[in-house]
Structure formats: structure tokens, C-alpha cells
Amino acid sequence: MSETIQPIQLHLRKPAISKTALPQSRHIQGEIYTSPDVYQKELDEYFFKDWLFMGRVEQFANPGDYEARRILGRPIIIARNKEGVLHAFHNMCRHRGVEVAEGKGNARSFKCPYHGWTYDLNGQLVGAAYMKDTEGFDPSGCKLPEIHLQVWRGNIFISFAQQPTVFEEAVADLERDFAILHTENCRLADITRTTLQCNWKFFHENLMDYYHVGVLHAKTFGARFSWTPENLVLKPNGGLTMHYQSSPSTPDGKSLFGKAPWLDERDNTFACTAFYPPNMTLFGRIDCVKIITAWPVGPDSCEVSIYMLFPEEFFSHDDFEEKVSVYRKYQLAIYEEDRAMIESMQKAMKLPNYEPGQLSVMEKPIHHFLGRYVDRMFGS
């Protein structure tokens, strides 16, 4: 008889932040950022249910283009088949579970390096030596397990859920608030990946923490950043949308390309942000779009990927790569400023004398995100 799997019981006091007005609120207890039980429930409640940003369609421009990655502890493949359709699969041979692909490139098929079972670009088993005499073995019914995949304006999303939320409903806020960025007419110019020794929530909280901008980033972009809590639109799922004033992501705050064609009527200080739970933060500027993900790899570590998009027209500039390098170096300088602060907070969460401090009115986005997070994780 198979053993019944018991749900994780969280023996923690439910933080009061979900029911407390911002002026009376405190941050939440350290266990939320360090507990292995909380982390596992986050995976089950958020990451294995919701739609997750995974990359860009131009990363798979041609039939046969693929990439094998390990996220949330699970090996996956994204590939474009011969008909030009994108698919996502669990990267596990149906024989013994060995990964059938690694890295990225272009392939006609995927072959298990252990016993040679071979799968086409649709995940269908097309070759399995010495199996014809195995009773009941039917190769036509044997496929790599598929993962739901959808595309919104050139951006790839996947869901591990058996029956995910209707995709059009899931991205309705993104479509309404950020169609103006026309990411379908942009191309990926750069991906920067790094690992931070902090909980995944801290990374996204930092991106919505406008309280620290004028202090920590005073020498980079802080003086060119202007917002008020009234600029925020808070979403029921804990996400947010904000339009505010900032500058292009260069050392002097001036674009090296000019305005995106569809933003020609906007001021150079045009800036917008979205947090799309659980793993995507989007930044729009007058000349580019950045999409940032934080994949948890444990309670106190996450892998961050920064996707930098520019309008298709900009790629014809003779000095395009040199200009992109300026944007890349500048954004890395900013994130290195953040790194020390976030990792210091993470260390504090495990200390017995840590006591959550009161929130500032400038931390309205964090108050909203954590309030909805607590409701979803702990219920009533």
C-alpha cells in the first residue's frame, strides 16, 4: 500500500501584515526567508502553479533550436519543432530518467546518452533499441512529459501545473499596462546571469523598494528617479504596476539610441515597472525593456537572469554591441550595490535577536506584496 503524502504544516505565527494598515505594519519574521518548510510550500503554492517567464522567442529562432536548463530542481527542454512551434518538456528519458539534452544549440532529435532512446522535436519517442520483444511496450504512446508553454508579445511563459490558469487571463494585466512597450517588436540584446545568496523574495522586494533608491543608489541613478505612492496600481495577486520618472540606463542618463519608435511622443524620463508574481519584474524605459527573473534554488539562494531588449531598429547601428556594453556595465554596477544589502538582510534573518522593523510609507509595494503572500501561503 502506498504511503499517503501529508501536507506540510507550517508551525509559524501568521504575520499580521496581511490585515494591518501600512502605517501600523512591521516587516515579517525571519523564518519566512529561511525555513525549508516555507520554501517547499512556496514552490508548491507559487512556482509549480503559476505561469513563469522563461525567455524570449528569438532564443529559438530556427526549427531545431533548443535549450536545456534546470529550474526549481527540475531539468527541462525548450525546443522549436520542424513546423516552427515551440514546446517545453521535462528533460527525462522515459526509460530511466536520464537527461536527454544538455546546453543549447540546434538538433534534429534528442538521444539519451545512457541507452540510446531517441526523441523527436515534439518529444515523441522515435527509437528504442532492443525493446520490440518487451511485452506491452508501445513507442507511439511514449513521449517526454510536456510542460505548458505560451507566448505573450515575444515572451515565453511556462507552467508546471496540470491545469494552469487560462493564459490570456494570467497576462491580462501585462497586456493592458505594458502593450505600449511593444516587446514583440524588440529583440534580445543581452542576458546576464548571476547567483545571489538571498531568498528569492528579497530580490524582488528590493526591486520594488523605492525607499532605498535615494540612499544606496545616490551615485548611480538615484538623483534621476522620482515617484510617489500614488503612482502605484496594486494587483490582487500581490503584483504591481507603476509609471514614474527616471532616465535611460546609462551613466549620464542619456540614451545612446534615441527613443523607441512607439514611444516617440513620450518624454525622455518615461519609466514603468511591473512585478508579475512570482518570478518576473519588468522595467520599461524610453529606449529599452529589461525583464528580470529570480529562480529560487533554496531558502537562502536564487539565480537571477536579466534580459535586455531593444527595438529591432536599433540592431542596425554600427556600434550596437559597444552601446549595449555600456548599458550592461551600468546595470551590473547598480545590482552590485544592491547585492551587499540583500545578502546582509538574509544573514540577519537567521539571528535570534532579529526583530522586524516598522515599514515606511515609502514601502507600500512591499507591504502589498507581503500581505497577499501571507494570505496565499497561510490562508485564514
Whether the per-residue pLDDT at 91 is higher than 90: the answer is yes
- What cell does 116 get? 540510446
Whether the per-residue pLDDT at 222 is higher than 60: the answer is no
- Of 26-40, 68-82, 205-219, the least confident: 205-219
The confidence score (pLDDT) of residue 344 equals: 93
- Of 13-22, 250-259, 357-366, the least confident: 13-22
Q: Which residues contact 110 (CB under 8 A, 6 or more apart)?
A: 66, 77, 79, 100, 101, 118, 119, 144
The confidence score (pLDDT) of residue 312 equals: 97
Rank 149-158, 211-220, 368-377 by mean pLDDT and report only the highest.
149-158
By CB atoms closer than 10 A (0-12, 13-18, 19+), residue 60 is: buried
**pLDDT band at residue 163, thresholds of 50, 70 and 90?**
very high
Instruction: Name the average pLDDT for the chain.
Output: 91
- 52-159 adopts what CATH topology? Rieske Iron-sulfur Protein (2.102.10)
The confidence score (pLDDT) of residue 6 equals: 43
State the average pLDDT over residues 233-250: 90
By CB atoms closer than 10 A (0-12, 13-18, 19+), residue 336 is: exposed
Whether the per-residue pLDDT at 8 is higher than 70: the answer is no
Whether the per-residue pLDDT at 107 is higher than 60: the answer is yes
In the chain, where the domains are located: 16-49+178-378, 52-159
**pLDDT band at residue 3, thresholds of 50, 70 and 90?**
very low
The dihedral sign for the CA sequence 238, 205, 181, 234:
positive
To the nearest 10 degrees (0 to 180), the angle between helices 200-207 and 320-349 is 120
Length of the chain: 380
The confidence score (pLDDT) of residue 4 equals: 40
**pLDDT band at residue 221, thresholds of 50, 70 and 90?**
low
Whether the per-residue pLDDT at 343 is higher than 50: the answer is yes
Pick one of 3.40.50.2000, 3.90.380.10, 3.40.50.300, 3.40.630.30 as the CATH number of 16-49+178-378: 3.90.380.10
End-to-end CA distance of the chain: 34
State the average pLDDT over residues 345-370: 92
Tell me: the pLDDT tens digits for 149-159? 999 999 999 99
What does each C-alpha distance from 302 to 50, 196, 274 come to in angstroms?
Answer: 18, 6, 20
CA distance 156 to 65: 14
CA distance 234 to 88: 31
Tell me: the pLDDT tens digits for 18-47? 678 888 889 999 999 999 999 999 999 999
